[in-house]
Chains A and B, each alone.
Chain A
Amino acid sequence: MPPTPSSVSATSPTLLDTRFKVETPEGIDLILRPAGVIPRALAFGIDLLIRGALLGALYAVLALFGQFGMGLATILMFLLTWWYMVLFEVLNQGRSPGKQVMGLRVIHDDGTPIGWAASLTRNLLRFVDMLPFGYTLGIISSLRHPAFKRLGDIAAGTLVVYRDEAPSAAVLPEAEALRAPFTMNLNEQRARSALLNAAKTCPARAVWNWRAFSLNPCTSPPNRLNNRSTASPVAF
């Protein structure tokens, strides 16, 4: 059996994943993680609460000025309804306050920061997503699209993704370096260093189990569940 490159077998295209790859002209894959309907609905809820609170406060203050105040409040309501998202998205790196809380941001499909045109399109088309009531079309579109886009996102070519945290520098364990008897590819090296990091942070027993397993890969992985039922269709 020829040793096939395991990077190919590990990331076979049939496997289901939420990640979304954008290939740059230099042949580098940028990995984006599109966000689904649940966190986006929560982010929208937070934004809705903020807007509601702002509008309530505005009305309370402007009601003192009579009809003029009401007119002003109507204009402000228009601005807050239609420009709140656009301004935050374009001027705050694609993050409205709700998205900020949920760790999301909006970008173009190719990973570039969102611009005025795309942001205006996706936010004006909220009107379509809201049809016929309470974002029905948006929810259905988001549930059926592989990158969780609602109709506005499809039209504007935008993507709501999870923000990437800045990676922390790997802390190497203080130990004498040994050469492995075989070459390891990137995935395997990562797995090994993840194992070593876990060994430092986890309780001793678990580490012992892992180490026993990793040193002797021919044994089956340790059973952590004593109470495993055989009646269940898949023995989890």
Chain B
Amino acid sequence: MRLTDASVVIRPRSAWEAVDLGVLLAKQHAGLLMLSWAIVTLPIFALLCLLLWDYPSIAVLIFWWLKPAYERLPLFILSNALFGSTPSLKQALKALPGLLKPQLLASLTWRRLSPTRSFDLPVQQLEGLSGSARNQRLVVLGQRDAGGASWLTVVGVALEIALMFGLISLFYMLLPAQLELDWSWDTLISTDTHQWLWLEHLSNLFYALVLVLWGPIYVACGFTLYLNRRTALEAWDIELVFRQLRQRLTGVAYAMLLSVALLFMPVADNAMAASEAAPVATDPNGPDAPRLLKQPLTSEQSQESITQLLDQPPFEHRETVTRWRFGDAPEDPSAEDAKSLDEWMKKLADLAQLWKSVDGVALFFEVLLWTLLFSLLAWLLWRYRDWLNAFAGRLRMPQVRRYQAPEQLFGLEVAPQSLPNDIAGEVERLWAEQPRAALSLLYRALLSRLLHEQQLALKSSDTEGEVLQQVHALQQAELSKFSQTLTSHWQNLAYGHQQPHAALKDELCTGWRQLFERGAQA
């Protein structure tokens, strides 16, 4: 055992970190460990199943009980792999009988249920201790990390159960739905039916498969716990650093010897070296010239180690990229290829010359193409002008519509210019012969006044009733009353052809004068 050969970093860890290191260690040698475990355990499982076909529970109990026997082979592999000499599968299997011999009975009987099984195994197998010596050793080792080993076993039991049920439920999920399975729990539980034996053996097989994964990890975790304890007890980390220090210092001693020997070398050698080096014309005082020749670390050596350092990560990052490509690899460019390439380049140059001569043509085409582009754009704009108006026009801000007073309402002229100045007088004059014209004039005048004096926003689509509603909204009692009366009489006359009686003339004219002309006169 040489600590400097260890393939793990040796430093004192907490118990949990030691267990984690075990997981990593098992992962590093996962293929070998799991394969050897499977080769050893699965035949035993098959044999047990065949022998005890009618008693699957007893078969799996015996299989479980034999676990300490399986665990010796992974420990052998790991202990060798730790110091760099990983055995091959054949070597490992050959070593198995020798590993099984010592203390197998004890392992399988009174030590079977020990919670620190994985932690104790290295003492027994690697240190070869037995009896009271083993007990004393375990007392010393177990002062600190034994708790971690017990928890490892407890969690290991839980993990085994979880993984096994995971596999079983995965199997159950993968059963095709077409497979009509009326498994009810009471038929599964009733043991008298022999047809479910295979199912029990199958779930036992899942346990055996889970152990292929977990068994080596469990052993590796116990092993690293043991290593960690010994690292703490025997200060392996300190020892390791001092060993490296010794290597370094002896190396320095050799270097000093060499440099002393160089000092006593004949001078002629130096001269020869100088004459050979002369054509390169290196500056003897430059930064690349060898310096510090009498020191333990010469400049050349330091340069060399610097370049070595710069060649390693993190200064250098190399990666291998694997890609698919066509099978026929391109041939090396021959002289012919080079010549043809040369000719081709020449032709290209000629073509460029020709191109320059036809610059005018190019300009013409350039103009033509730009014109085409712009006319295409213009045509597009014109072609879709309606669409643009309809949709792009909506993008503008909504604008306030100016109210335009209509010229006509119900076919009546309502512009102020079309009305006579003295409306009431005109009405009185017309009333006798043309009552229809008189009433229509009055109504027109009312509408005109409403539009231009009261600033009512009447539309040409309004009906008489709607006009009245707007008048009421003004909340002028007299105006409302007058409009009401006038409108009803106008409607009676215009649509019902009922002649207004004569008394109405005075009432309306007085009302008109009071409402509109008094204000104008005042």
Q: Is B20 touching A146 in the complex (CB atoms < 8 A)?
A: no
Contact of B16 among A1, A3, A162, A191 (CB under 8 A): A162
Q: Is B9 touching A16 in the complex (CB atoms < 8 A)?
A: yes
A59 to B: closest C-beta gap in Å: 25
Q: Is A15 touching B9 in the complex (CB atoms < 8 A)?
A: yes
CB neighbours (8 Å) of A34 from chain B are 20
Q: Is A233 touching B95 in the complex (CB atoms < 8 A)?
A: yes
Q: Is B79 touching A236 in the complex (CB atoms < 8 A)?
A: yes
The answer to whether B217 has its CB under 8 Å from any CB of chain A is yes
The answer to whether B173 has its CB under 8 Å from any CB of chain A is yes
- Assuming the A-B contacts A42-B151, A136-B162, are A16 and B242 also in contact, with contact meaning beta carbons closer than 8 angstroms in the complex? no
Q: Which of the 9-residue segments B53-61, B250-258, B461-469 touches chain A?
A: B250-258
The answer to whether A227 has its CB under 8 Å from any CB of chain B is yes
Q: How many residues belonging to A are interface residues under a CB distance threshold of 8 Å?
A: 69
- Assuming the A-B contacts A1-B251, A15-B8, A229-B127, are A10 and B79 also in contact, with contact meaning beta carbons closer than 8 angstroms in the complex? no
Q: Is A132 touching B128 in the complex (CB atoms < 8 A)?
A: no
Q: Which of the 9-residue segments A69-77, A81-89, A92-100, A180-188 touches chain B?
A: A180-188
Q: Is A14 touching B162 in the complex (CB atoms < 8 A)?
A: no
Contact of B14 among A1, A143, A162, A227 (CB under 8 A): A162
Q: Is A217 touching B243 in the complex (CB atoms < 8 A)?
A: yes
In the bound complex, what is the Cα–Cα distance between A36 and B95 (angstroms)? 31
Q: Is B166 touching A132 in the complex (CB atoms < 8 A)?
A: yes
With both beta carbons as reference points, the residue of chain B lying nearest to A145 in the complex is identified as B27
B145 to A: closest C-beta gap in Å: 13
With both beta carbons as reference points, the residue of chain A lying nearest to B3 in the complex is identified as A221
Q: Is B152 touching A224 in the complex (CB atoms < 8 A)?
A: no
Q: Mark A155-187, 1 if CB is under 8 A from B, else 0.
A: 000000010000000000000000000101001
A164 to B: closest C-beta gap in Å: 11
In the bound complex, what is the Cα–Cα distance between A135 and B167 (angstroms)? 11
With both beta carbons as reference points, the residue of chain A lying nearest to B85 in the complex is identified as A234
In the bound complex, what is the Cα–Cα distance between A14 and B133 (angstroms)? 37
In the bound complex, what is the Cα–Cα distance between A133 and B172 (angstroms)? 11
Contact of B20 among A13, A35, A182, A224 (CB under 8 A): A35
CB neighbours (8 Å) of B151 from chain A are 38, 42
- Assuming the A-B contacts A182-B249, A217-B246, A232-B126, are A16 and B239 also in contact, with contact meaning beta carbons closer than 8 angstroms in the complex? no
The answer to whether B142 has its CB under 8 Å from any CB of chain A is no
With both beta carbons as reference points, the residue of chain A lying nearest to B161 in the complex is identified as A134
Q: Is B238 touching A195 in the complex (CB atoms < 8 A)?
A: yes
CB neighbours (8 Å) of A214 from chain B are 238, 242
Q: How many residues belonging to B are interface residues under a CB distance threshold of 8 Å?
A: 77
Report the tally of A-B residue pairs with Cβ distances under 8 A. Answer: 194
Q: Is B24 touching A16 in the complex (CB atoms < 8 A)?
A: yes
Q: Is A187 touching B252 in the complex (CB atoms < 8 A)?
A: no
The answer to whether A194 has its CB under 8 Å from any CB of chain B is yes
The answer to whether B485 has its CB under 8 Å from any CB of chain A is no
Q: Is B28 touching A16 in the complex (CB atoms < 8 A)?
A: yes
In the bound complex, what is the Cα–Cα distance between A18 and B244 (angstroms)? 22
Q: Is B167 touching A136 in the complex (CB atoms < 8 A)?
A: yes
Q: Is B20 touching A148 in the complex (CB atoms < 8 A)?
A: yes
Q: Is A18 touching B17 in the complex (CB atoms < 8 A)?
A: yes
Contact of A13 among B17, B166, B313 (CB under 8 A): B313
Q: Is A3 touching B23 in the complex (CB atoms < 8 A)?
A: no
Q: Mark B17-53, 1 if CB is under 8 A from A, else 0.
A: 1011101110110000000000000000000000000
The answer to whether A25 has its CB under 8 Å from any CB of chain B is no
With both beta carbons as reference points, the residue of chain B lying nearest to A142 in the complex is identified as B23
With both beta carbons as reference points, the residue of chain A lying nearest to B102 in the complex is identified as A231
- Assuming the A-B contacts A38-B151, A233-B79, are A2 and B235 also in contact, with contact meaning beta carbons closer than 8 angstroms in the complex? no
With both beta carbons as reference points, the residue of chain B lying nearest to A198 in the complex is identified as B235
Q: Mark B167-184, 1 if CB is under 8 A from A, else 0.
A: 111100100000000000
Contact of A227 among B1, B129, B159, B312 (CB under 8 A): B129
The answer to whether A102 has its CB under 8 Å from any CB of chain B is yes
With both beta carbons as reference points, the residue of chain B lying nearest to A8 in the complex is identified as B309
Q: Is B17 touching A191 in the complex (CB atoms < 8 A)?
A: no
With both beta carbons as reference points, the residue of chain B lying nearest to A235 in the complex is identified as B1
CB neighbours (8 Å) of A235 from chain B are 1
Contact of B162 among A10, A135, A162 (CB under 8 A): A135
Q: Is A187 touching B241 in the complex (CB atoms < 8 A)?
A: yes
Q: Is B159 touching A132 in the complex (CB atoms < 8 A)?
A: no
Give 5 A-B contacts (CB < 8 Å), ordered by A residue: A15-B8, A18-B21, A38-B16, A188-B242, A229-B129
Binding site for B on A (CB under 8 A): 1-6, 8-11, 13-19, 23, 33-39, 41-42, 45, 102-103, 132-137, 139-140, 143-144, 146, 148, 162, 182, 184, 187-188, 190-191, 194-195, 198, 210, 213-214, 217-218, 221, 224-225, 227-229, 231-236
